[in-house]
């Protein structure tokens, strides 16, 4: 991906450079599995409970288990206090997270049961759903739930005509030229896409380029996730 | 990977290729994709006689046939007791698996809701987990102390061929039953002895990653007795 002339990112990163990532596993002692994942100032924690019996009973599915995600931004995570509790936005992201994670989970082994994933955003600077999915994937692995693969999530942005990796808040609000397009993508290390959202305008050629960028970024994230899981057992 | 390295256990994550080639069989926590053995769980990968398996070190207790577990009576039915053994699925102790004759109205006299019981898993089927108490050392728990630890640390409390648990029993003079689900029943003559065992088990769970733990616990007991 080449940089267009005269383009500078607000924080001086290269177009394909991600913010500093950090991951840690086993941070919530009472959960069955838990993890933290951060992109720069965006910090997400995920806690997994279960598999356990689904309650109420009429929601049980005897064919396969259920994955239930709850995404929530804590009231102090942004500079203007946000009202705690479910909102239109958080319910959408919860559902999206479920769809992003379900294809990799071997949930068929847990009929009539539910796996609860609680994602909390401690600090937000854009890409919170991606940080949340990354943390949730780590927490699910930590909970010992059978998975086909890990998943890594990254947001690709189009600022005016320039594609960039890992969007932050200043870039998300980009107003010059064509404005900002935000494309959160979730994929497995070998490039299978489990989730793709697009908010804005983009040509099909540019979208293909964006996916290629995400492939590269997802590999980087995967290495961070792998390291976090492997190191938590070495203590 | 060369065959000589196989005895060494290594940490694997879901989707990671453990072995390549047709010499291996996929065991628990693994899957065969093409000619690769792939981990589907996070844990330690182990290989013996070509069978590869992954042992989880975190997460909820996964019941297995033959496990001795400690549970709480959750409910009574006409045919037996529903027992909570801290696993995803509920467990059932049928009337036939209780020694002696039990009349259908007298279930509560044997075990009532809230009672603790040590039992063995005899089967896991589509209809849930079945338990028995028709073996020595099993049955309703009348007295003593029950503590709960992380079920993934149970193998450390038992030790290689029971070395750790035997050490604890000898040093304290208590009778200790370790349930695979992480519940431990301690029965001693004095409450002080029981509390000493509790302290020792907490010490083991905190240090569960160190090697040569049995020796360390031996020293710990000597230190505790000198006090």
Contacts of B41 in chain A (CB under 8 A): 141, 144-147
Contacts of B14 in chain A (CB under 8 A): 104, 141, 146-150
Supply the pLDDT for residue B3: 43
B145-226 and B9-56 share a CATH fold = no
Supply the pLDDT for residue B127: 77
Q: Is B43 on the interface with A (CB under 8 A)?
A: yes
Q: Is B14 on the interface with A (CB under 8 A)?
A: yes
pLDDT tens sequence across B116-174: 999 999 999 777 899 999 999 899 999 999 999 989 889 889 988 899 999 999 999 99
- Omega within 30 of 0 (cis) for the link into B101: no
- pLDDT of A101 higher than 90: yes
CATH class of B9-56: mainly beta
Q: What angle do CA B46, B48, B49 make, to 5 degrees?
A: 150
Contact criterion met (CB < 8 Å) for B59 and A110: no
**Could you give the CA distance from residue B183 to residue B91 in angstroms, rounded to a whole number?**
15
pLDDT tens sequence across A134-164: 999 999 999 999 999 999 999 999 999 999 9
Write down the pTM of the prediction.
0.89
Task: Kindly report each contact of residues B150-155 with a partner whose C-beta sits within 8 Å and lies 24 or more positions away, as own/partner.
Answer: B150/B182, B150/B205, B151/B60, B151/B61, B151/B86, B151/B180, B151/B181, B151/B182, B152/B56, B152/B57, B152/B58, B152/B59, B153/B182, B153/B204, B153/B205, B153/B208, B154/B178, B154/B179, B154/B180, B154/B182
**Could you give the CA distance from residue B83 to residue A178 in angstroms, rounded to a whole number?**
63
Contacts of B13 in chain A (CB under 8 A): 141, 150, 225-226, 229-230
Supply the pLDDT for residue B39: 96
Q: Which of A66-75, B19-28, B196-205 has the highest mean pLDDT?
A: A66-75
| Shortest distance, CA B56 to any CA of chain A (angstroms) | 6
**Could you give the CA distance from residue B143 to residue B100 in angstroms, rounded to a whole number?**
21
CA dihedral B164, B170, B175, B179 (to 10 degrees): 0
The more confident residue out of B136 and B212 is B136
**Could you give the CA distance from residue B181 to residue A132 in angstroms, rounded to a whole number?**
31
Domain layout of chain B by residue ranges: 9-56, 68-141, 145-226
Specify whether domain A21-232 bears CATH 2.40.30.10: no
CATH superfamily of B145-226: K Homology domain, type 1 (3.30.1370.10)
Domain layout of chain A by residue ranges: 21-232
What is the percent of chain B with per-residue pLDDT over 70, rounded to a whole number?
96
pLDDT tens sequence across B73-100: 999 999 999 999 988 888 999 999 999 8
**Could you give the CA distance from residue B61 to residue B69 in angstroms, rounded to a whole number?**
11
- pLDDT of B1 higher than 80: no
CATH architecture type of domain B68-141: Beta Barrel (2.40)
Q: Is B208 on the interface with A (CB under 8 A)?
A: no
Q: What is the mean pLDDT of chain A?
A: 94
Residues 6+ apart with CB under 8 A from B196: B172, B224
Q: Which residue of A has its CA nearest to B17?
A: A149
Q: Which residue of B has its CA nearest to A33?
A: B59
pLDDT tens sequence across A10-54: 999 999 999 999 999 999 999 999 999 999 999 999 999 989 989
Contacts of A142 in chain B (CB under 8 A): 42, 58-59
Q: Is A74 on the interface with B (CB under 8 A)?
A: no
pLDDT band for B2, please (50, 70, 90 cuts). Answer: very low
**A 188-217 residues with CB < 8 A to B:** 188-189
Supply the pLDDT for residue A235: 58
**Could you give the CA distance from residue B162 to residue B167 in angstroms, rounded to a whole number?**
9
CB-CB: which of B56, B57, B88 is closest to A113? B88
- pLDDT of A184 higher than 90: yes
Under 8 Å CB pairs connecting chains A and B tally to 73
Q: Which of A218-222, B48-52, B175-179 has the lowest mean pLDDT?
A: B48-52
């Amino acid at each position: 991906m080449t940089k267009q002339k005269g383009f500078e990112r607000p924080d001086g990163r290269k177009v394909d450079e991600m913010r500093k990532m950090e991951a840690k596993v086993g941070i919530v002692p009472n959960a069955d599995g838990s993890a933290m994942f951060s992109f720069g100032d965006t910090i997400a924690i995920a806690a997994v409970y279960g598999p356990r019996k689904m309650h109420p009973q009429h929601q049980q599915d005897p064919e396969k288990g259920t994955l239930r995600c709850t995404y929530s931004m804590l009231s102090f995570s942004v500079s203007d206090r946000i009202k705690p509790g479910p909102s239109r936005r958080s319910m959408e992201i919860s559902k999206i997270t479920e769809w992003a994670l379900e294809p990799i989970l071997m949930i068929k082994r847990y009929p009539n049961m539910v796996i609860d994933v609680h994602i909390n955003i401690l600090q937000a600077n854009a890409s919170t759903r991606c940080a949340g999915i990354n943390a949730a994937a780590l927490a699910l692995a930590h909970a010992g739930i059978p998975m086909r693969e890990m998943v890594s999530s990254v947001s690709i942005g189009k600022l005016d005509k320039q594609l960039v990796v890992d969007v932050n808040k200043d870039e998300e609000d980009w107003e010059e030229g064509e404005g900002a397009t935000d494309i959160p993508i979730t994929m497995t290390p070998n490039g299978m896409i489990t989730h793709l959202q697009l908010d804005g305008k983009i040509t099909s050629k540019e979208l293909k380029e964006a996916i290629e960028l995400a492939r590269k970024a997802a590999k980087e994230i995967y290495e961070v996730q792998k390291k976090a899981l492997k190191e938590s057992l070495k203590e | 990977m060369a065959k000589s390295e196989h005895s060494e256990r290594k940490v694997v994550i879901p989707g990671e290729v453990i072995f390549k080639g047709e010499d291996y069989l996929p065991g628990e926590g693994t899957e065969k994709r093409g000619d690769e053995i792939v981990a589907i769980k996070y844990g330690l990968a182990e290989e013996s006689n070509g069978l590869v398996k992954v042992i989880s070190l975190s997460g909820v207790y996964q019941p297995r046939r033959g496990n001795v577990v400690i549970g709480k009576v959750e409910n009574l039915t006409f045919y037996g007791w529903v027992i909570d053994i801290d696993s995803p699925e509920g467990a059932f102790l049928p009337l036939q698996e209780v020694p002696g004759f039990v009349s259908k109205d007298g279930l509560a006299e044997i075990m009532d809701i809230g009672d603790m019981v040590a039992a063995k898993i005899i089967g896991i089927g589509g209809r849930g987990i079945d338990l028995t108490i028709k073996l020595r050392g099993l049955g309703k728990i009348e007295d003593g102390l029950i503590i709960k630890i992380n079920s993934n640390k149970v193998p450390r409390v038992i030790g290689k061929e029971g070395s750790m648990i035997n050490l604890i029993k000898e040093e304290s003079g208590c009778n200790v039953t370790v349930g695979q689900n992480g519940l431990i029943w301690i029965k001693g003559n004095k409450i002080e002895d029981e509390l000493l065992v509790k302290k020792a088990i907490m010490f083991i769970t905190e240090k569960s990653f160190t090697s040569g733990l049995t020796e360390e616990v031996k020293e710990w007991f000597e230190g505790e007795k000198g006090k």
